Amino acid sequence: MSKQSKRIEALVYHAKPTPGKIKVVPTKKYASQRDLSLAYSPGVAEPCLEIEKDVNNVYKYTAKGNLVAVISNGTAVLGLGNIGPEASKPVMEGKGLLFKIFADIDVFDIEVNTENVDDFIETVKNIAPTFGGINLEDIKAPEAFEIEQRLKEELDIPVMHDDQHGTAIISAAALLNALELAEKTIADVKIVVSGAGAAAISCTRLYKAFGAKSENIVMLDSKGVIRKDRDNLTSQKAEFATDRKIDTLEEAMKNADVFIGLSMADIVTPEMLKSMSAKPIVFAMANPNPEINYDLAIDTREDIIMATGRSDHPNQVNNVLGFPFIFRGALDVRATKINEEMKMAAVKALSRLAKEPVPEQVNLAYNETRLTFGRDYIIPKPFDPRLIAEVPPAVAKAAMDSGVAKEPIEDWDRYKNSLLERLGSDNKLVRQLLGRARTNPKRVVFAEADQLDVLKAAQIVYEEGVAKPILLGRKETIVELMSEIDFEADIEIIDPKSDDETERKNQYAKVYWEKRKRQGVTLYSAQKIMRERNYYAAMMVNVGDADALVTGYSRSYPTVVKPMLELIGMADHVSRIATTNVMMTQRGPMFLSDTAINIEPDAKDLARIARMTSRVARMFGIEPVTAMISYSNFGSSENPRAQKVQEAVAILHKAYPDMIVDGELQTDFALNAKMLQDIFPFSKLAGRKVNTLIFPSLDAANITYKLLKELNKSESIGPIMMGMSKPVHILQLGASVDEIVNMTAIAVIDAQEREKRQQKI
Ligand SMILES: NC(=O)C1=CN([C@@H]2O[C@H](COP(=O)(O)OP(=O)(O)OC[C@H]3O[C@@H](n4cnc5c(N)ncnc54)[C@H](OP(=O)(O)O)[C@@H]3O)[C@@H](O)[C@H]2O)C=CC1
Ligand SMILES: CC(=O)C(=O)O
Ligand SMILES: [Mg+2]
């Protein structure tokens, strides 16, 4: 993808479908007049009065305890400099998004229009009652130091300047690990720090706290080396001024062991790297572009341990690994500040975690086969789910031990579990899906590649290494659209209607004719039908010219299913095909079946659908817990419609005693573990979290999934085809680009699974 299209992609991402990246969502019921009278006047007066009596009650009755302000004046935005409060807003919203997805902390981003230190402090102090914590962001030095210092003294909630301490914590953890790999000790290494701003000063202070020696440190600002004999140094710069009579970065880098970049892009040259000592450690952390390009650095020195602040290279040393988890721990014990002990604890937790075996889901999320502690993995990855279970408890414990925790934690196991529960699993599931597909991308034929959304999805899966697309459709249109969306790839484009394709088309027609010549198909009609894209595409999969097929974007479901059944057919031992939808709900992913094919399944069909759905759930890495849904609970109705579901359950219990399935059950009982446990304790589902619902009819399943999708805005993957003899997957009419991408990943994984089964035979 060119620089220009990346730029456009970033702008469209921020602009569409709604401008910006975050919104406010109510957490209480507001459906009825009664709800509103509680949410607002008159009911709201009660908590107001309770808080007036005791201000600590604000944590009990409002969102304060989980609400952090991300505050900036836009004077040092990433490495973009002083671009002003409005221009800093995308970054602040971005921090809000990261707080939410990694630590379930809510954020109001606040951009303050002043560069005056007193005014800024006054503003923050005046709005502080709203928040449980204050995250200062992208405020330039030296003002940042005074602002943070005074706010810490004057407020009784945690205040942290992320660029100072978030960065210091992460980079210190990475540095300790890198030194271990390079077999060097912190007290002996010569360190060059480029930058003398908020981030650089605080990072260097923390390295000193871990043993780095002042005499081994050279710091540079925009004017060059900070020497003791320089005039007008700020007190922070003076702290790191050197006795050495050198002026330039080039001189400083000679024989240095460590380079810390918190300044500007592209100021380090290959020659400078070559002049460093053996096994140099280079953290080029300026954003968005580092002090030296990652690939250039790696090409220059074989023995380098290299990190940047970016997510597109190994070793992302970025404060995103810190602020969500540090604030989580601080908020959870209602710490009055974030002190040195808490920072040290976070460093140790992060450094330790990098040395532990990496869970498979992290490998999958990052398209890695085996991440292990080493040169390319010195610090955990942001999507590592262990971060939330490890770092906040370490921070919380340090807060308690150092006496700044107002609400100490008593039950640590319970606390850790509550932390894990905070992590939504929706995006995680999609990430895992894409990660798994990437481990062995397959050839996927897109039958409607001349449709812009399909082509865009093909571009994404191609560029992300999820699949190897084969594009079907009008060649001219595809080529034109590809150039429009900057899709440069050497991939097969086939127009089944074109005469260029005649040889392969004739070959496919022959295979098709052989298969159906006794069902009224002539060779001539077979040749004619192969001009139809879905038949052609299905034939590609049939003869092995493609591994999987994704189609259906522009046609109704039944019109596409028919040719697929004719050409591809059902898998052996399968007497029915069916579909399932994965809904990303607040309680995690839910599988709903059958959402698209079987209008009135009988008991045996329902049992089969439940079995097939279990297999799909496992494909997603989820152990199925299945409820067979009805309007009746365990025989409460004698109507044949309820009895049909009971019969299906009996079939499953007899044939698959290990399967965790039960019913018939009403949906609320199936989804409410407590109700189920209290009223039907004998059920196989009692005490478990149901994640799979098998509905008694197509009506019920389809209506439910569409209701959830529209009313609850639950994301959905599917309908996923089950029971076909080849990986054929059909899109919903007008599916979005994301839905097509997800479906492609499923098609790839489906092909991978079949390949594995084949290899076993
Ligand atoms: N990876 C990460 O997690 C993080 C990265 N950063 C990055 O660090 C950089 C600085 O951020 P921050 O400290 O908040 O900003 P500040 O504005 O506080 O500091 C910037 C510093 O860079 C110095 N500088 C500018 N040009 C050069 C140069 N050519 N050579 C050496 N030093 C130079 C400035 O010098 P002077 O004092 O003379 O003006 C100043 O000391 C940014 O690129 C930012 O993106 C920041 C935080 C986290
Ligand atoms: C990462 C970050 O906070 C910065 O670059 O400013
Ligand atoms: Mg920042």
The pLDDT tens digits for 675-696 are: 999 999 999 999 899 999 999 9
Distance 218 CA to ligand 1 centre (A): 15
**Residue 309 sits in which domain range?**
163-314
DSSP β-bridge partners for residue 98:
none
Q: What is the mean pLDDT of residues 283-299?
A: 97
Is the domain of 307 the same as that of 184? yes
Q: Is the pLDDT assigned to residue 5 strictly greater than 90? A: no
750: in domain:
no
Give me the active site residues, please.
40, 95
Q: What is the CATH number of the domain that holds 96?
A: 3.40.50.10380
Percent of residues in the chain assigned helix, strand, coil, to nearest 5: 50, 15, 40
Q: How far is the CA of 163 from the centre of ligand 3 (A)?
A: 5
Instruction: Identify the pLDDT of residue 427.
Output: 61
Please tell me whether residues 441 and 386 are part of one structural domain: no
Position 49 in a domain = yes
Residue 693 Cβ < 6 Å to ligand 1: no
Average pLDDT over residues 553-570: 86
Which two tokens mark 223?
């004017």
* pTM higher than 0.90: no
For the cut 80, the answer to whether the pLDDT of residue 713 exceeds it is: no
Instruction: Select from 91, 135, 264 the residue to mutate for testing ligand 2; criterion: most ligand atoms less than 8 Å from CB.
Output: 91
Return phi, psi of residue 494, to 5°: -125, 130
Query: Which pLDDT belongs to residue 339?
Result: 96
Whether residue 740 lies inside any domain: the answer is: no
708 Cβ contact list (under 8 Å, min separation 6): 583, 585, 714, 716
Q: Are 546 and 508 in contact (CB under 8 A)?
A: no
- CATH assignment of the domain containing 691: 3.40.50.10750
Tell me, yes or no, whether 192 and 300 share the same domain.
yes
- Measure 310 CA to ligand 1 centroid, in angstroms: 15
243 & 301 share domain: yes
**Whether the Cβ atoms of residue 419 and residue 392 lie closer than 8 Å to each other:** yes
Total of domains in the chain: 5
Is there a single domain that holds both residue 235 and residue 345?
Answer: no
Query: What CATH number is given to the structural domain containing 499?
Result: 3.40.50.10950
299 with 384, same domain?
A: no
Query: Where a domain ends, among 567, 600, 615?
Result: 567
Mutate to test the pocket of ligand 2, among 98, 138, 263 (most ligand atoms within 8 A of CB): 138
Alpha helices in 599-711 (DSSP H): 603-619, 640-655, 667-671, 673-679, 698-711
Nearest ligand 2 atom to alpha carbon 166: 3
Mean pLDDT confidence for 27-44: 92
CA dist 732 and 739 (Å) reads 9
Residue 610 has pLDDT above 80, yes or no: yes
Domain assignment present for residue 749? The answer is no
At residue 118 the predicted structure's pLDDT band, cuts being 50, 70 and 90, is very high
Ligand 1 pocket residue status of 287, Cβ below 6 Å: yes
CA distance 600 to 577: 13
Structure token pair of residue 43:
């009911």
What is the spatial distance between Cα 231 and Cα 163, in angstroms, rounded to a whole number?
A: 26
Identify the domain boundary among 157, 172, 203: 157
State whether the beta carbon of 267 lies less than 6 angstroms from ligand 1. yes
Query: Picking from 107-111, 571-575, 629-633, 671-675, which range would have the lowest pLDDT averaged per residue?
Result: 571-575
Asked if pLDDT for residue 84 goes beyond 70, the answer is yes
Does residue 297 share a domain with residue 206? yes
Beta strands in 272-323 (DSSP E): 281-284, 305-308
- Minimum mean pLDDT range among 172-181, 562-571, 689-698: 562-571
In a domain, 753, yes or no: no
Q: Whose CA is nearest to atom 5 of ligand 2?
A: 78
- Beta-carbon-side half-sphere exposure of residue 469 (alpha carbons within 13 Å): 34
293-302, 353-362, 576-585 — which is least confidently predicted? Answer: 353-362
Confirm or reject: Cβ of 242 under 6 Å from ligand 1. Answer: no
Predicted confidence (pLDDT) per residue in 619-639, tens digit: 887 899 999 999 999 999 999
pLDDT, position 604: 96
Probe target for ligand 2 pocket from 135, 167, 308, 316, with the most ligand atoms within 8 Å of CB: 167
183 and 297 both lie in a single domain: yes
pLDDT, the chain, mean: 93
Do both 167 and 152 map to the same domain?
no
User: Parallel, antiparallel, or unpaired: how do β-strands 133-136 and 106-111 relate?
Assistant: unpaired
Residue 530 and residue 646 share a domain:
no
C-alpha 589 to ligand 3 mean position (Å): 34
In this structure, of 50-59, 180-189, 750-759, the range with the lowest mean pLDDT score is 750-759
Question: Where a domain ends, among 507, 538, 567?
Answer: 567
Q: State pLDDT tens for residues 375-400.
A: 999 999 988 888 999 999 999 999 99
Q: Are residues 692 and 618 in the same domain?
A: yes
- End-to-end Cα spacing for the chain: 41
Distance 72 CA to ligand 2 centre (A): 12
Q: Is 332 helix (H, G, I), strand (E, B) or coil?
A: helix
Q: Which of 677, 602, 680, 689 is nearest to 645 (CA)?
A: 602
Q: Write down the pLDDT at residue 424.
A: 57
How far CA 751 is from CA of 12, 81, 461, 619, 729, in Å, comes to 33, 49, 15, 11, 11
Q: Which pairs with CB-CB distance under 8 Å and at least 24 residues apart come from 400-404?
A: 400/333, 401/341, 402/339, 402/341, 402/342, 404/335, 404/336, 404/337, 404/339, 404/342
Can you count the helices (H) and strands (E) in the chain? 31, 21
**What CATH number should be reported for the domain holding residue 242?**
3.40.50.720
Atom of ligand 1 nearest to the CA of 141: 18
User: What pLDDT is stored for residue 761 in this prediction?
Assistant: 67
**How far, in Å, is the centroid of ligand 2 from the Cα of 623?**
39
- Which residues fall inside 5 Å of ion ligand 3, going by CB? 138, 163
Q: Which residues line ligand 2 (CB under 6 A)?
A: 78, 138, 162-163, 287, 309, 318-319
Question: Is residue 554 in a domain?
Answer: yes
pLDDT category at 756 given cuts 50, 70, 90 is confident
State the closest ligand 1 atom to the C-alpha of 78, by its place in the atom list counted from 1.
Answer: 45
* 286 ligand 1 Cβ < 6 A: yes
239 with 295, same domain: the answer is: yes
* Per-residue pLDDT tens digits for 479-519: 999 998 889 999 999 999 988 878 899 999 999 999 888 98
pLDDT attached to residue 405: 98
Residue 600 lies in a domain: yes
Please check whether residue 738 lies inside any domain of the structure. no
